[in-house]
């Protein structure tokens, strides 16, 4: 599909190039012919007029013939050169147009491929719990001896699956709406941002007896409060999710000459070097979280956090040692 589009676009570019080239060639040709006419006929006619009538008939005829021949040859030479140049432009322009068409369509092709991947991943993630619920329901319906207790357990499991689906659709909607979100950029106090984020993960941390500390001196920086709190909540939520009970999570904020740096450090499972570059991709979940830890994550959190930070023209990076812990760093420009 994209190859066809590239060829069509290249054709269009070539048409434009050739249109311009032929227009200039036609003008150059016309101008040259006019100039030859002036240059050859004008002085020639003067010479002929100066020649006495008697005895110079042959000289006159020869002169006119030679002049017309020169005129025709000059026209031919110009025409030949212009055709040659236009052929060169046609060949060179063909290659250039195709190259430019590929260059133009490359970002569109990449965006299309990423959208396709995203749709396929989202459909897959949505289908899994739906299929599970459907088969569970069918089995329950066919069971004539289903007790009230079993039915309630069954409903409970359905609600759990529905909660996962709600979480997933919320993540998908958030990702889709981020680009359009109107940011309310203002001067923020780091203490307020950090405390708001911590308060939202506190109950989960308390369940695992994880201590969240934040003892940096407050600094002020610029950004959209609610979305930056959301990004911090994602990092803190992960830090708690992927850490053992009774461990510690530390949040720090500092102002550097050109940046504000927010860090979330945990003592959790860590991320393997090969996986660190992928964890910000949509739907990516590292092996550690799939196999060892029972979470209802879909691999959308870090993609949302990264998009929020990107929309602030900042960066989100990770530094991690498997088995020791991870540090996620948000760098925001001043
Ligand atoms: P999820 O909902 O699965 O947590 P995220 O996008 O938030 O999705 O994270 C993607 C993956 O990155 C997780 O599945 C996990 O493997 C890894 N990850 C994120 N944060 C941490 C962390 N603090 N420690 C270890 N692994 C992490």
What is residue 212's predicted lDDT score, i.e. its pLDDT?
96
Residue with tokens 């911090």: 232
Which residues, other chains included, contact 5 with Cβ-Cβ below 8 Å and sequence gap of 6+?
101, 105
What is residue 47's predicted lDDT score, i.e. its pLDDT?
75
Residue 36 CA from chain centroid, whole number: 57
Residues for the chain: how many in total? 334
Average pLDDT over residues 16-32: 95
Q: Are residues 237 and 261 in contact, defined by beta-carbon separation less than 8 angstroms?
A: no
**128 HSE (CA, 13 A, CB side):** 10
Nearest CA to ligand 1 atom 17: 286
pLDDT band at 293 (very low <50, low <70, confident <90, very high): low
Nearest CA to ligand 1 atom 25: 270
Mean pLDDT lowest among 10-24, 37-51, 173-187: 37-51
d(CA 49, CA 58) in angstroms, rounded, equals 14
Q: Provide the b/e sequence for 265-292 (b: ≥16 CB within 10 Å).
A: bbbbbbbeeebbeebbbbbbbbebbeee
Residue 211 CA from chain centroid, whole number: 38
What is residue 78's predicted lDDT score, i.e. its pLDDT?
93
Using CB distances shorter than 6 Å, the residues near ligand 1 are: 234, 238-239, 242, 266, 268-271, 279, 284-286, 288-289, 295, 297-303, 326
Pocket test for ligand 1, best of 276, 299, 304, 309 (most atoms within 8 A of CB): 299
Using CA atoms of 307, 308, 310, 312 in order, give the dihedral in degrees to the nearest 10: 160
* pLDDT for residue 105 is more than 70: yes
Average pLDDT over residues 166-195: 90
Phi, psi of 280 (to 5 degrees): -90, -5
**Largest CA-CA distance found in the chain, in angstroms, rounded:** 135
The pTM of this model reads 0.73
What is residue 48's predicted lDDT score, i.e. its pLDDT?
74
What is residue 320's predicted lDDT score, i.e. its pLDDT?
94
Cα(201) to centroid(ligand 1), Å: 15
Residue with tokens 């860090």: 263
Burial of 205: CB neighbours in 10 Å, binned 0-12, 13-18, 19+: buried
Q: Are residues 160 and 133 in contact, defined by beta-carbon separation less than 8 angstroms?
A: no
d(CA 251, CA 274) in angstroms, rounded, equals 25
* pLDDT for residue 180 is more than 90: no
Q: Which of 260, 201, 267 is nearest to 234 (CA)?
A: 201
What is residue 136's predicted lDDT score, i.e. its pLDDT?
87
Q: Are residues 300 and 237 in contact, defined by beta-carbon separation less than 8 angstroms?
A: no
């Amino acid at each position: 599909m994209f190859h066809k589009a590239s060829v069509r676009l290249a054709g269009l570019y070539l048409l434009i190039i050739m249109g311009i080239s032929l227009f200039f060639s036609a003008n150059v040709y016309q101008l040259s012919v006019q100039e030859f006419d002036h240059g050859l006929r004008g002085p020639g006619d003067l010479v002929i007029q100066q020649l006495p009538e008697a005895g110079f008939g042959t000289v006159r005829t020869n002169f006119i013939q030679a002049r017309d021949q020169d005129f025709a040859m000059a026209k031919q030479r110009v025409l030949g050169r212009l055709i040659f140049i236009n052929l060169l432009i046609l060949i060179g322009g063909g290659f250039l147009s195709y190259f430019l068409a590929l260059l133009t369509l490359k970002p569109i092709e990449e965006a299309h491929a990423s959208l396709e991947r995203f749709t396929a991943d989202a459909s897959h993630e949505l289908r899994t719990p739906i299929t599970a619920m459907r088969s569970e329901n069918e089995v329950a319906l066919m069971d004539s001896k289903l007790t009230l207790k079993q039915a309630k357990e069954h409903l409970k499991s359905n609600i759990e699956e529905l909660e996962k689906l709600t979480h997933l659709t919320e993540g998908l909607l958030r990702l889709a709406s981020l680009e359009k979100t109107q940011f309310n950029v203002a001067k923020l106090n780091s203490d307020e941002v950090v405390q708001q984020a911590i308060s939202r993960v506190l109950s989960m941390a308390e369940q695992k007896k994880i201590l969240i500390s934040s003892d940096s001196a407050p600094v002020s920086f610029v950004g959209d409060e609610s979305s930056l709190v959301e990004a911090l909540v994602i990092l803190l939520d992960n830090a708690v999710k992927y850490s053992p009970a009774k461990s510690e999570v530390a949040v720090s904020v500092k102002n550097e000459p050109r940046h504000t740096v927010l860090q979330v450090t945990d003592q959790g499972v860590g991320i393997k070097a090969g996986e660190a570059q992928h964890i910000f991709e949509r739907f990516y979940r590292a092996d550690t979280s799939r196999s060892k830890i029972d979470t209802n994550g879909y691999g959308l959190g870090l993609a949302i956090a990264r998009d929020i930070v990107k929309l602030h023209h900042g960066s989100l990076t990770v530094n991690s040692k498997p088995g020791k812990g991870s540090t996620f760093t948000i760098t925001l420009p001043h």
